[in-house]
Every structure is written in structure tokens, then in C-alpha cells.
Structure 1
Amino acid sequence: MLGEAEALAAEGLANLHLTSPVVAAGAIARLISLNGRCEGLSVVADHPANVRALDAANAGMTLAVFVDVDPGIHRTGVASPEAAIALAAEIAGSGNLTLAGVQYYCGSQQHIQSFADRRAAIADRTDYLRTVLDALRTAGHAIPIVTGGGTGSFLIDAELGVLTELQVGSYIVLDRDYGECELAVRDAPVFEPALFVDATVISANAAGMVTVDAGLKALSTDAGPPVMIGGGRYAFMGDEHGAIFPDGPLPGLGERVTLQPGHCDPTVNLHDVYHVVDGDMVVDIWPVTARGRSA
């Protein structure tokens, strides 16, 4: 994530927010260097020792730090309102950091397929967030920004009115996993998939299937296999290969098939460019600026 921020800043983007703690000494040095050339940079922290290290390294500058609050995933974030107060006090009492707000990302709830079930889960977690925010404010801490949410919860978060900033991103291209979720109700916005991987049939010798040149190196695996556009089933067959079991006639040698990835983010990170198409015509090519720069 730090590497991605460096790549985006090099292209002139400002107001970048790192949503994971930066703790290693070398990474902190890079973060502070980035802070000197990226206006509006911010980062999260969930441990007092990390706050002290950021403060010591950032002498002579100001760095915006968010208190990262664990919504129950146990991935990152402080684990209680009391811990949030202690961390906020550490940030506010430092010489080179400012308390920018609170981050609260309910990642595991984003992909609950039923809208009603997802709303109930997000509402429950938001009730807990209110207790953390109330505790921080009672302790005298102003919380300018409460950031979180995502493509799966944007309607719910807007309705609940606690988050002041939404970290929505996947809706831009969507993926198979979100495509299986009920993202909207009534007349609310509905998103359409815009990210696909084209693969070519490179072997057609087995009955009932063909092999394509898109495998583990071309498609993310964490959300399962991609959807085959036009019907059929895809199965991973190794680093460079996938198996296609179409609903209709088998595509011939050299023919292309189109796949919708299960998860957009890690799939994009496997490719150098986007080919932007209008119908059957490529109208532009966009580089994936931060490919491989997550560290």
C-alpha cells in the first residue's frame, strides 16, 4: 500500500490515505519522505509504539494520523473504546502528528449477499462505532473525519449517517463477487461490470473442454474462479492455464473467451495495462500505475 501511494504521488495525486499501519523502520522513513512531497497525506495507526515512531521520524513536519478501530475482524485496529482514547491522546500529545479522525472499515460485511442481512450487520457494527466516537468526544477529542464503508455498504452507511467519508472503489469496475450481492434496493443506483480478462484457446484436444492461456498469473483466486461471459464454467489449471467448459459449442483453437474476475483489486495488480474498449474497438490503453507496488 505504501508503494502504491508512492506511485500515485509521483503522478501528481494528493490527499492520499494509507488504510493500513506503517510500522517497519524503513517503511516509516519512506512514509515521512512521501509526506514531504504529497500534500494531504494521512495514515492510520492502532498502537502507541507506532505513533511514537511516526512522531519521532516526522520531526519538522506534520502528519495526519487516524485512529484505526477494529470492527470485529481482528485484522487491524484498536480493540476497545478505552484503547481508542489512549491512542488518540498519544497522537494529540505528540509534537509532529495531528489527530485526523477515525477509520472504521467493515470489510467482512461488504460481501453479504442479502441487502437486508448486510444492512443488519452494518447497523450492528455502526452501533459499536458510535460508542467509540462518543467515548473519544467525551474525552475531549475532536474527530473531523470518520472514514470507512465500501461498495457493499455505501447506501447503508449513507442512511446511518455516522461515516463522513466513504471508501468506495470496486463499484467502478465491479467483480463477480460483488455481482452476486444485492447492492441496491428499489430505485437506488445499480452498477454494471466493466472489468474483464480476455483469454485465448490454446488447446482443444479434450472432449467437452478447451484450455485457455489465463490461469493463476492472470486472475485472482481469493474469491473463487471467474465467470465465463456467455455461459459455461472456468476452472484453474495452473499458473498459465485455465479450463473452459462452455454451455454451448466449444470455442475453436485461437478463439477468445471473456472472463469476469472474482475479485477486481488483486486481478488488476496482475496486469500492466487496461485496454479500454467501446464495443469491439480498443479506444485507449491505460497503464496500471501502481502494479506490484503494494509493499
Structure 2
Amino acid sequence: MDRADLPTPVLILDRAAMDRNIAAMAGFAAARGLALRPHAKTHKSAEIARRQISAGAAGICCAKLAEAEALAAEGITDIHLTSPVVRPDAIARLVALNGRIALSLVADHPENVAALARAATRPLTVFIDVDPGAHRTGVASPEAALALADAIAAEPNLRLGGVQYYCGSQQHIESRADRFAAVERLTAYLASVLDMLKTAGHAIPIVTGAGTGTFAIDAELGVLTELQCGSYIFLDREYEDCELTGGGAPVFERALFLDATVISANHATHVTLDAGLKAMATDAGPPRPIRPGATYRFTGDEHGALIADSLPKLGERVTLQPPHCDPTVNLHDAYRVVEGDRVVDCWTITARGRGT
């Protein structure tokens, strides 16, 4: 069918642009001897995960256990969980999943390590999550990292997989120079943690982290061995506003869009679209209209205002670039996959709403 015949609001995926983004990141990592493990919290799609792995990714990351379960059920067999799993019911699910796929996860507390060890029925790979200063998850000092490494090493059913270090709040610093300075300072701290672990005799085979905003910087600094970038496949408005080039970083393309329709056109300053708070995440501000000189303003659950000197007419379609792709994707059931203006496929968003 034609893209213009899709009901709106509708999530649109440009397959060719996304595939070029996947290939560009895979090539970047391979050229620098780095493993690539893209974060599936961005797309939540088994089809996209398969395309990333086919392009050379070592596996994928998931933020939540339920995401991993959903993707594993669709044949994804190498998954790293980037958040701790602590509830007894969730640990039981984790142990069951570990019996079916290659699975790893992070921990940041000795009590969690002990609970994982008690439940494990076969070797379970655990990474030490190190807090870069966000105070979200992760051990808070090199000494705490060493104590956790000792606790993991003491358990026969656990294996120390390495260290995770994700500088989330630094990903969207718009200036590359400012972003580089921030990540360089934080990486020096990570190096001190790794030095303490290695001096104590712990092998750290993998140091995983990075994101779309910092992957080229992390590659240049040379401490991480694995990249967890996610949003590069779509290039949402929030990342497009950042200076991502430099350090040999590839140029990514817009690949994810939201099509909306003008449903009211009674004012000289704006028209009303049928896409509002229920169609897009709002944490990163408004979307970017793919229309010269136009801006968008949220006006309610179902509606948004398009403001421009040259306004579209009643019934006309408007394309928007989502502000923050991860939570926007979580609001939709499927991607309508296009080549040009032709709809060529529909991909279920496999792990939509899997937040447990």
C-alpha cells in the first residue's frame, strides 16, 4: 500500500536508512577492534535485533528482564541485561532464561550477588555495574567494586563477566568538545576502578558501555571494549541536535518518523494534528516537523499544533521526527516499514510494554 493510505498517527520506519545506520556502526566498531552489543531498549524489535546481529553485533542489550524474555522467544540468543534483577520472582525467571540462551546481567550489591548465587542452577555471568556519578545504579567506589568482584568470584555458580559503565547523562551534551571533556574525566575514574580490580587479581574480559552520544569518544579513549549504542539506528531529534561527528564517527540518517494528519485548520497561525501526548514521548521536548520553518507544540493527549507561515491544508499529512525514540516506540504496536512512499512490511514491536 502507499504510505499516504496509512491511518494516522502512525510510526514509520525507513528500512534502507536504518540498514545503512546499522552497517555504519558495525563498520566503526569492527575497524577499531571493539565488540558491538546494541541496546534493544531503543527498538524492542526481534526483527531489528536480527538485522544488527547479522551485521556483526555480538548480541544485544535489554534494560528489563521481560524485554529479554520477549526477544529470546523470537530467537535472540545472546542478551545482556543492563539493570539489576533483585526480586525473587524475577530471579527465578532469570535463572530459567539463563538455561535457554547466553545471558549476562549486572549487579551492584553483595546481597543481590548472594541471591543470584543461591538461585543459579548453571553458571551465570555477572558484570559489576559501576556508577559514573549519576547515582542511579552501580557501585559507588572502587573499593565497593572490588568487594563485589570478590563476592562474585567466591560463588561457584557465578562468573565475573566484566564491568559495565554507562554515562547516561553525558550522551546528550550538544557540544562534542564539552561531551569529550566530561567523558574523559569519567573514564579516568573508570580506569582507577579497573586498576584496583586487576591489581587484586580479577580478570576483566569485557568493559561495556557507551551510547550514541559518546561511542566515538569512548573508542578514542580506549578503555571500553564493547559498545552498547542504541538510538543510532533511528537518529531521533534529541540526538540530531548533538554534534555526533568527529573521531571518525559515521554520519547517521533519520530513519524513524511519525506521520500525522491535519484535522482542524481554522486559524491563521496554526493547524491541529491528530498526534499528541499518546503518540510521542514528551521528556525531550517537541518533535521536529519535516517541513521548512514549521514548529510543533503539544496541545493534549490526542492533538498537537503545527505552527508555520505556510500552513498545510485540512486533511494534509505532516511528518514528524520523534523527540526521543525509545519511549516513543513503546507507545506503538508496530513499525510500518517503508521504501520511499511505499509500505513494504509491518514489524511488531516485540517487547512493547515489557517493563518487569
Calculate the TM-score normalised by the size of structure 2.
Answer: 0.80
**Is 1:36 the equivalent of 2:74?**
no
* Equivalent of 1:5 in 58, 68, 73: 68
Larger RCO of the pair (alpha carbons < 8 Å, separation 6+): 2
Q: What SS does the aligned partner of 1:285 have? A: strand
Give me the whole-angstrom Cα distance separating, in 1, the residues matched to 2:185 and 2:260: 42
The alpha-carbon deviation at position 294 of structure 1 amounts to: 2.3
* CA deviation vs aligned residue, 1:84-107 (integer Å, no higher than 9, x gap): 000111111112111100000011
Counterpart in the other structure of 1:90: 151
Letter of the 1:182 partner, please give it.
E
* CA deviation vs aligned residue, 1:245-272 (integer Å, no higher than 9, x gap): 1242x22222111111111111111111
Give me the whole-angstrom Cα distance separating, in 2, the residues matched to 1:198 and 1:261: 10
Q: How many residues align?
A: 292
Give me the whole-angstrom Cα distance separating, in 1, the residues matched to 2:283 and 2:88: 30
Alignment gaps of 5+ in structure 2? 1-63
Counterpart in the other structure of 1:211: 272
Counterpart in the other structure of 2:208: 147
Letter of the 1:170 partner, please give it.
S
**Is 1:235 the equivalent of 2:297?**
yes
The alpha-carbon deviation at position 187 of structure 1 amounts to: 5.9
* Equivalent of 1:56 in 118, 124, 129: 118
Q: What SS does the aligned partner of 2:160 have? A: strand
Counterpart in the other structure of 1:181: 242
**Is 1:20 the equivalent of 2:83?**
yes
Counterpart in the other structure of 2:325: 264
Counterpart in the other structure of 2:355: 294
Q: What SS does the aligned partner of 2:256 have? A: coil
Alignment gaps of 5+ in structure 1? none
Give me the whole-angstrom Cα distance separating, in 2, the residues matched to 1:9 and 1:235: 39
Native 8 Å contact 2:220 2:247 kept in 1: no
The alpha-carbon deviation at position 32 of structure 1 amounts to: 1.2
The alpha-carbon deviation at position 139 of structure 1 amounts to: 1.0
Runs (4+) of structure 1 exceeding 4 A deviation are: none
Give me the whole-angstrom Cα distance separating, in 2, the residues matched to 1:163 and 1:186: 15
Q: What SS does the aligned partner of 1:41 have? A: strand
The alpha-carbon deviation at position 124 of structure 1 amounts to: 0.6
**Is 1:78 the equivalent of 2:139?**
yes
Give me the whole-angstrom Cα distance separating, in 1, the residues matched to 2:275 and 2:317: 11
Q: How does 1:101-112 map to 2 (within 5 A)?
A: 101-112=162-173
* Equivalent of 2:176 in 90, 106, 115: 115
Q: What SS does the aligned partner of 2:181 have? A: helix
Q: How does 1:122-141 map to 2 (within 5 A)?
A: 122-141=183-202
Letter of the 1:290 partner, please give it.
A
Give me the whole-angstrom Cα distance separating, in 1, the residues matched to 2:249 and 2:150: 41
Letter of the 1:293 partner, please give it.
R
Calculate the TM-score normalised by the size of structure 1.
Answer: 0.96
| Percentage of pairs with the same residue | 70
* CA deviation vs aligned residue, 1:47-93 (integer Å, no higher than 9, x gap): 011111111111x2111100000001111000000000001111111
The alpha-carbon deviation at position 131 of structure 1 amounts to: 0.1
Q: What SS does the aligned partner of 1:254 have? A: coil
* Equivalent of 2:284 in 213, 223, 230: 223
* CA deviation vs aligned residue, 1:102-158 (integer Å, no higher than 9, x gap): 000011111111111111111111000000000001111110100000111111111
Native 8 Å contact 2:217 2:247 kept in 1: no
Give me the whole-angstrom Cα distance separating, in 1, the residues matched to 2:200 and 2:334: 48
Give me the whole-angstrom Cα distance separating, in 2, the residues matched to 1:44 and 1:164: 16
Counterpart in the other structure of 1:169: 230
Give me the whole-angstrom Cα distance separating, in 1, the residues matched to 2:327 and 2:140: 28
Q: What SS does the aligned partner of 1:151 have? A: coil
Q: What SS does the aligned partner of 1:196 have? A: strand
Q: 1:62 to 1:166 in 2, by over 3 A?
A: same
* Equivalent of 2:316 in 247, 250, 255: 255
* CA deviation vs aligned residue, 1:3-56 (integer Å, no higher than 9, x gap): 110010001101101100011111111111111112x20000000111111111
